[in-house]
Amino acid sequence: VGEFFSTCGFVQPSKECKSRLRGGSHLAGAANNVAPFQRDGAEGCPSCNFLVCVCARAPPSVTRVTSVLTHSSGELLLLGTEGGHVFIVEVPGFRDCRSTIHSDLQKPPYDYIGRRNLEHVEALQENPINSNQVAIGYGRGLMVIWDLNHRCAIRHIPATQQLESMWWTENGSCILSSHSDGSYCCWTLRTGDKKEEEEKSNIPYGHFPCKAINKIVQLPTAGGPPFLLFSGGMPRASYGDRHCITVIYSKTQVAFDFTSRIIDFFVIRDGPHHTEPSALVVLVEEELVVIDLQTEGWPVIQTPYLVPLHSSAITCSHHVSAIPLKLWERIIAAGVVQNTQYSKKLWPITGGQNLAPDPPQRDLLLTGHEDGTVRFWDASGVCLYPLYKLSTAAVFNADADLNDNMSQSAEGEWPPFRKVGCFDPYSDDPRLGIQKIHLCKYSGYLTVAGTAGQILMLELNDEAAEQTVEAKVVDLLQGQEGFRWKGHTQLDVREEPVLFPPGFQPFTVVQCQPPAVVTALNLHSEWKLVAFGTSHGFGVYDYLQKNTVLVKCTLNPSDQLAMEGPLSRVKSIKKSLRQSFRRIRRSRVSLRKHHISNTNKVIQEANARLEAELAEMELAPVQRKIEARSSDDSFTGLVRILCFADTFLSDSSHNTPSLWAGTNGGTVFAYILYIPPVEHRADEALTAQPAKEIQLMHRAPVVGIVVLDGHGAPLPEPLETAHDLARSPDLLGSHHVLVISEEQFKVFTLPKLSSKMKLKLTAVDGSRVRRVGVAWFGSSRTEDYGESGLVFLTNQGDVHVLSLPHIKMQIRYPCIRREDVSGIASCVFTKQGQGFYLMSPSEFERFSLSTRYLVEPRCLVEAPLPPVFSNQHQPKLEGASSALRYMLSPYFPFFLQEIQKSLEGDQT
Amino acid sequence: MNKNHRVPSSRSLSAVEVKSKFGAEFRRFSLDRSKPGRFDEFYGLLQHVHRIPNVELLVAYADVHGDLLPINNDDNYLKAVKSANPLLRLFLQRKEEADYTTFGTDSLTRKKNTVLSAVLLRPDPNKKKPPVIISLPKDFRPVSSIIDVDILPETHRRVRLYKHGQEKPLGFYIRDGSSVRVTPQGLEKVPGIFISRLVPGGLADSTGLLAVNDEVLEVNGIEVVGKSLDQVTDMMIANSHNLIITVKPANQRNNVVRGSGGGGGAASGSSSDSGASYHGYVPQGAAATAGPTHIIQNFPVGELESDEDDEDLVIEVGGEAETIQRTPSNYSMPSLPRYEPHLNLRTTTAANSGSAFSINANGNLRGSGGSLTNTNASSTTPSPDRAKERRNLEEEGTVITL
């Protein structure tokens, strides 16, 4: 049926960015510098072993590389090590260790006598106006200016604080050093034999002890004071947990406050000679932030790619293919209004070409987040691009501060913080979390459902509107007795009118009682009905007449877990006993270790603990209970799937609207819906009549229900035929319903519901259905041929395709690691046989089962060779990329062995 | 009915003399010992000789030990004919006025501590407990069996557990482990799946055919090599209604001796190493499971794949509940008195509802009417265990459970 490939969908922009990062700046610290090499280096490349040991996390050893300098000549690579040696290596080849600067060659000045060791090489800098001079900064604080030609030290700069970073100013006259106590110094280099003078030692956030300044950069401007940028240096006690970069220009000082740890930063400079600082690029742990330094107020430039998906944790996703242009434009328009705080400046990072063809259609990926937002992403091409963000928190009275994170801090605050970046993992109210999303692309109606049993109906409106959101409480228990919900309370809906910005505006909210997580949701925009289900039951709400059409309790009265909610304390005594034993044991282990432990033993201790845990696991091996499912199991009433269909439920001559619901206990409920004709739709009552029930013998959870028409094709989406986008379903032949449980696929005839076909999955290979979707596979050869297929993902991480309507296995592909439970749970299928899943909390991987619809990252990053000499402070791709090439050369490991050998000889 | 024409040659060794008593009447005739025919033919013959063609009969005979035993299928009919020495004494009763309690307990003179009574009736004949009521052998269902003895290596055992209709849990745990295999390269450790625990009183435990540390080789004919513990778990659960597992018993001493198979339940002891094989006879369990738990027989191949018991229940709501497919026998089983003593014990509080029928049908609770729209609890699926608390639910609407 299809050809499968798995692509790292969004790697292209990141590659482009990385190469730019390397070329455009002096990223201090070997770990940061070399890590990208490691990432980019092809697997199996001989340098990999080395690169791993260069990592900051490598165990301490004298050969560990602590800093790297790519010399501007393009012919030398300087490697500073843990042991305080600097290796000068000729590139290409790495073959010739031309010279080594040993730390004991340095004759420290008189006042350094008494200090035992210079420690590791913390920083290496080249003189921007004389490339023969290189500054070597040792951890202890001493800085040495070394002449490469004469192989001798020219000067010693005797800083006394632990060195963090070093910066040689543009004109070569000063060296800035930053230190672990939060201070920085400017050393003026005088000609002649005079000692270097420490111009001033400055602790910018002083008085109280400060944290280290990790990196300092000073850049001149054409006609004004220089830009001074440094990271860290915050007062330890009050703001020690902030991740800040301070920018000082003239009288302006701003401490950009990031939400995750700063990895590195550099400044892009433009103008005729590439000298004017124009943008600050900061790579923090969770995102990439670019700040416009030329526009007043230093606004953030919106990232066109690498936008953090997980600014709040993703809780669900929903894919809609082939969005009509009208809706697309309206969503974009709503999104544009939201992005006013961004700089107008163009994205300053250039390089690389996207060779992928234009996407054939407009696809939307909607992600629901823990903080109650829904983000709309353009998923048509390789790169996910944010279009619009919907927040549902405004509907509810929450303690949450509704102010955006971007808001400016109060006047006169010191340090002058400004929050930047959109990564914000802290949710103020977990009940706001979005669990299910359904968008009708034809009508622009959206429904989202959340953790506290709330179901919001939203309509796309191009104007801002102030309106009251009507709340409707639906009691799913239906008088079931002996029930006490111990979970969270329901959300408090605001009674006063709320001003909603242009975009999707909520007009009604249904609240399930008890407020359990919504586990199933479906929207039929043609009938104007929304169906929702929780662990207690399901209901249908008519959002035109704003009343409930159907409520059904599926709760098993003895199901204590479902009764009590997520905070249930029902827990086996055995389990808690086992846990407490483990705890005792663990604390004993750590106690014993504690006596002999010092700071270096931390790793050993962790290892020992791990071993102890492993031993414990061996004592009691993992067991699995073999037990048939019974109706007494927990959460049998949890509604897993809801589905609307216009089909033959009561007799074979009249098709009627129907609702299908499947539960965790293997039960399928089918209801006939009576919907008044269009002219009376607003005033005549709707009814729902129970029609059928199927109890699957094997009792496995029902995860999918698909109604097939007379041709065996799945019924079209609501309004799809009305928009002439699908042929109308065949109502002459007999319809079938395909019930997909976690274990089996079964086709029943309609309306008799006699079993026609089945396919057992679990009984045969032990895998279970986790995710299921219907996809249309177009032929790659001819335009007009295609087949519908059932796509499903198993708990083993395999994707299967079944033919429809005969449910025959077509193909199976391993797709996700089976240990990646959250990846499997996050998978969504598109209507064209593609799929998305979260390969990490922040990355979607896209795969395609279709030969016609492929989305491949096709890109080109040009790296001109050979390297040319240029000023080291200017962004240059050439030097770095050639260095990369040499790094990957086959000689590299030999060279490393040589270093190793020389050092070992040195030690003994 | 061809046996009618047989000439009663009274003292011939090849013939069995039959004395049949129905009420106060006796009939005497004989059967060919080598060709006794089938039970239904015999039943017709009895109706014929007593001239009671339309009377439902309960047929019983007195065995060598003087116990009164029922004849209601081919097996016990053959057994009765075989054991007739020389006279086969039959006792006929009308079914509607049959006294089931008579079987094996009294009414006939017999020696105490006979083998049969020890095995079938009481685990400890020395204790004078209230007589155990057992059901008719026809109503016995197999709960487990060893199958395919002829095609499997002697070190392997293929066990079939009949979960359906059982109230006992399957009751065992599996774990990862490693086993040693002989390969051309010598001994090799390979990962395997093992039984790690048996739940006391569970089906697996009470059959005595599975034991801790038995290696699981196949589940319903599919090898488990290369499958993870979770996969094997899911396979077993998916097949739980009719689970066939091939194991390599940890204890190889008590393997079934080839050629001795095909016998009755008496062979059970030799196939078990758990020592727990008689737990199943403890009268705490359902009487129904106290039958011959160990039947060694070769099932026809087709039966391995038999799937009828996997039929789903479809209910027309609003109309009468119906099962479109043939419902599994255990669910549509008529209410038989055999269940009564046992279930009465469990649902004493429910006795007033008089719905023993619905309970007997293992929860196939069909209320008389009531559309779903007017009843809240219509969807709940109470299990028999819950039946007593949720009595009102059962009567309110179309409630279904399997």
Whether pLDDT at B105 is above 60: no
> Could A557 and B311 be called an inter-chain contact, meaning their C-beta atoms sit closer than 8 Å?
no
- The reported pLDDT for the residue numbered A638 is 92
Nearest to A395 by CA among A448, A327, A354: A448
DSSP 3-state of B357: helix
> Could B310 and A698 be called an inter-chain contact, meaning their C-beta atoms sit closer than 8 Å?
yes
Whether pLDDT at A589 is above 60: no
Question: With an 8 Å Cβ cutoff, is B72 touching chain A?
Answer: no
- The reported pLDDT for the residue numbered A792 is 95
CATH number of residue B64's parent domain: 3.10.20.90
In eight-state DSSP terms, residue A180 is T
> pLDDT: is A404 or A203 the higher one?
A203
Nearest to A888 by CA among A4, A21, A45: A45
pLDDT level of residue A550 (50, 70, 90 thresholds): very high
- Closest Cα in chain A to B311: A697
DSSP 3-state of A869: coil
State the nearest Cα–Cα gap between B226 and chain A, in angstroms: 11
Omega of the bond prior to A415 within 30 degrees of 0, cis? yes
Per the CB < 8 A criterion, the answer to whether A142 and A105 are in contact is no
Nearest to A820 by CA among A848, A850, A792, A798: A798
Q: Tell me what percent of the residues of chain A surpass a pLDDT of 90.
A: 37
B65 within domain boundaries: yes
DSSP 3-state of A36: helix
> Could B312 and A697 be called an inter-chain contact, meaning their C-beta atoms sit closer than 8 Å?
yes
B102 within domain boundaries: no
- The reported pLDDT for the residue numbered A207 is 81
Structural domains of chain A in order of their starting residue, each with its CATH number: 51-158 (2.130.10.10), 320-338+360-406+429-555 (2.40.128.630), 640-759 (no CATH), 768-859 (no CATH)
List CB contacts (< 8 A) between A624 and chain B. Answer: 173-175, 229-230, 232-233
Question: With an 8 Å Cβ cutoff, is B197 touching chain A?
Answer: yes
- The reported pLDDT for the residue numbered A603 is 67
B233 within domain boundaries: yes
> Could B316 and A627 be called an inter-chain contact, meaning their C-beta atoms sit closer than 8 Å?
no
> Could A694 and B376 be called an inter-chain contact, meaning their C-beta atoms sit closer than 8 Å?
no
Binding-face residues of B in 228-257 toward A, CB within 8 A: 228-241, 243
Among B239, B328, B386, select the one facing A558 at the smallest CB separation.
B386
Average pLDDT over residues A222-243: 89
> Could B312 and A690 be called an inter-chain contact, meaning their C-beta atoms sit closer than 8 Å?
no
Nearest to A541 by CA among A473, A464, A641: A473
Residue with tokens 């010693």: A156
B104 within domain boundaries: no
State the nearest Cα–Cα gap between A319 and chain B, in angstroms: 30
Per the CB < 8 A criterion, the answer to whether A177 and A187 are in contact is yes
Whether pLDDT at A802 is above 90: yes
Of A355-359, A437-441, A694-698, the one with minimum mean pLDDT is A355-359
List CB contacts (< 8 A) between A743 and chain B. Answer: 234, 238
- Interface probe for B, chosen from A474, A618, A626 (most Cβ of B below 10 Å), is A626
Whether pLDDT at A169 is above 70: yes
Q: Which residues pair with A537 in a beta bridge?
A: A553
Encoded amino acid at A705, one letter: I
Of A559-568, A860-869, A882-891, B168-177, the one with minimum mean pLDDT is A882-891
Among A630, A753, A766, select the one facing B232 at the smallest CB separation.
A766
> Could A625 and B173 be called an inter-chain contact, meaning their C-beta atoms sit closer than 8 Å?
yes
Pair of tokens at residue A107: 């004759």
> Could A623 and B175 be called an inter-chain contact, meaning their C-beta atoms sit closer than 8 Å?
yes
- The reported pLDDT for the residue numbered B292 is 38
Among A552, A554, A626, select the one facing B236 at the smallest CB separation.
A626
> Could B385 and A632 be called an inter-chain contact, meaning their C-beta atoms sit closer than 8 Å?
yes
List CB contacts (< 8 A) between A764 and chain B. Answer: 222, 235
Whether pLDDT at B201 is above 90: no
Same domain, B233 and B149: yes
> Could B237 and A818 be called an inter-chain contact, meaning their C-beta atoms sit closer than 8 Å?
no
Whether pLDDT at B243 is above 60: yes
Residue that is last in its domain, among B220, B254, B288:
B254
A304-A305-A310 Cα angle (round to 5): 120
> Could A480 and B233 be called an inter-chain contact, meaning their C-beta atoms sit closer than 8 Å?
no
pLDDT digits (tens, 9 = 90+) for A233-292: 999 888 888 899 999 998 889 999 998 899 999 999 887 777 888 999 999 988 899 999
Whether pLDDT at A621 is above 90: no
Which domain range does residue B88 map to?
Answer: 15-97
Same domain, B247 and B159: yes
φ/ψ region of A888 (left if φ > 0, alpha if ψ in -120 to 50, else beta) reads alpha
pLDDT digits (tens, 9 = 90+) for A86-122: 888 877 666 555 566 766 556 555 555 455 677 788 8
Binding-face residues of B in 362-391 toward A, CB within 8 A: 363, 371-373, 376-383, 385-386, 389-390
Question: With an 8 Å Cβ cutoff, is B25 touching chain A?
Answer: no
B280 within domain boundaries: no
Q: CB within 8 A of B357, min separation 6: which ones?
A: B335
Average pLDDT over residues B3-29: 70
pLDDT level of residue A579 (50, 70, 90 thresholds): low
Q: Tell me what percent of the residues of chain B surpass a pLDDT of 70.
A: 50
Q: Which residues pair with A659 in a beta bridge?
A: A644, A671
Per the CB < 8 A criterion, the answer to whether B280 and B206 are in contact is yes
State the nearest Cα–Cα gap between A616 and chain B, in angstroms: 15
Whether pLDDT at A702 is above 80: yes
Encoded amino acid at A862, one letter: E
Pair of tokens at residue B278: 């008689």
B264 within domain boundaries: no
> Could A632 and B378 be called an inter-chain contact, meaning their C-beta atoms sit closer than 8 Å?
no
Whether pLDDT at A829 is above 90: yes
Q: Which residues of A435-460 are buried (b: 16+ CB within 10 A; e: fewer)?
A: bbbbbbbbbbbbbbbbbbbbbbbbeb
Among B233, B241, B389, select the one facing A624 at the smallest CB separation.
B233
- Closest Cα in chain A to B319: A691
Rounded Cα–Cα distance for residues A516 and A821 (Å)? 23
Rounded Cα–Cα distance for residues B118 and A845 (Å)? 68
B117 within domain boundaries: no
> pLDDT: is B188 or A583 the higher one?
B188
Whether pLDDT at A639 is above 90: yes
> Could B238 and A765 be called an inter-chain contact, meaning their C-beta atoms sit closer than 8 Å?
no
Binding-face residues of B in 139-168 toward A, CB within 8 A: 163
DSSP codes, A178-191: EETTS-EEEEEPPS
Among A628, A698, A763, select the one facing B220 at the smallest CB separation.
A763
Same domain, B160 and B215: yes
Among B316, B383, B393, select the one facing A631 at the smallest CB separation.
B383
Whether pLDDT at A538 is above 70: yes
Average pLDDT over residues A379-391: 90
Binding-face residues of B in 274-333 toward A, CB within 8 A: 309-318, 324-325, 328
List CB contacts (< 8 A) between A556 and chain B. Answer: 380-382
Residue that is last in its domain, among B202, B224, B254:
B254
> Could A629 and B373 be called an inter-chain contact, meaning their C-beta atoms sit closer than 8 Å?
no
Of A348-357, A399-408, A633-642, the one with minimum mean pLDDT is A399-408
Mean pLDDT score of chain B, rounded to an integer? 64
- The reported pLDDT for the residue numbered A142 is 84
pLDDT level of residue B172 (50, 70, 90 thresholds): very high
Rounded Cα–Cα distance for residues B129 and B103 (Å)? 16
Rounded Cα–Cα distance for residues A110 and B274 (Å)? 85
Looking at the structure of chain B, the number of domains it has is 2
Rounded Cα–Cα distance for residues A531 and A657 (Å)? 13
Rounded Cα–Cα distance for residues A305 and A318 (Å)? 20
State the nearest Cα–Cα gap between A415 and chain B, in angstroms: 55
> Could A762 and B237 be called an inter-chain contact, meaning their C-beta atoms sit closer than 8 Å?
yes
User: Number of CB pairs < 8 Å for A and B?
Assistant: 181
Residue that is last in its domain, among B227, B254, B281:
B254
pLDDT digits (tens, 9 = 90+) for A391-418: 999 899 865 444 444 444 455 677 788 8
DSSP 3-state of B80: helix
Same domain, B64 and B164: no
> Could A697 and B372 be called an inter-chain contact, meaning their C-beta atoms sit closer than 8 Å?
no
Whether pLDDT at B92 is above 70: yes
Q: Which of A47-56, A95-104, A481-490 has the highest mean pLDDT?
A: A481-490
Q: Which residues pair with A823 in a beta bridge?
A: none
> pLDDT: is A155 or A7 the higher one?
A155
Rounded Cα–Cα distance for residues A588 and A579 (Å)? 14
- Interface probe for A, chosen from B312, B326, B398 (most Cβ of A below 10 Å), is B312
In eight-state DSSP terms, residue A517 is P
Q: Which of A144-158, A694-708, B5-19 has the highest mean pLDDT?
A: A694-708
pLDDT digits (tens, 9 = 90+) for B318-355: 644 444 443 333 333 333 333 333 333 333 333 343 33
Among A553, A632, A755, select the one facing B379 at the smallest CB separation.
A553
- Closest Cα in chain B to A754: B324
pLDDT level of residue B138 (50, 70, 90 thresholds): low
State the nearest Cα–Cα gap between B247 and chain A, in angstroms: 15
> Could B222 and A553 be called an inter-chain contact, meaning their C-beta atoms sit closer than 8 Å?
no
pLDDT digits (tens, 9 = 90+) for A307-322: 888 888 999 999 999 9
Mean pLDDT score of chain A, rounded to an integer? 79
DSSP 3-state of A812: strand
State the nearest Cα–Cα gap between B223 and chain A, in angstroms: 9
> Could B312 and A665 be called an inter-chain contact, meaning their C-beta atoms sit closer than 8 Å?
no
State the nearest Cα–Cα gap between B173 and chain A, in angstroms: 4
pLDDT digits (tens, 9 = 90+) for A755-799: 899 999 999 889 999 999 999 998 888 888 888 999 999 999 999
List CB contacts (< 8 A) between B390 and chain A. Answer: 557
Of A462-466, A739-743, B292-296, the one with minimum mean pLDDT is B292-296
- Interface probe for B, chosen from A617, A624, A796 (most Cβ of B below 10 Å), is A624
List CB contacts (< 8 A) between A760 and chain B. Answer: 238
Same domain, B157 and B234: yes
Rounded Cα–Cα distance for residues A79 and A299 (Å)? 37
pLDDT level of residue B117 (50, 70, 90 thresholds): very low
Same domain, B157 and B91: no
Rounded Cα–Cα distance for residues A11 and A801 (Å)? 27
CATH number of residue B152's parent domain: 2.30.42.10
Same domain, B150 and B236: yes
Per the CB < 8 A criterion, the answer to whether A423 and A311 are in contact is yes
- The reported pLDDT for the residue numbered A412 is 61
B198 within domain boundaries: yes
> Could A553 and B171 be called an inter-chain contact, meaning their C-beta atoms sit closer than 8 Å?
no
Same domain, B249 and B148: yes
Average pLDDT over residues A5-19: 28
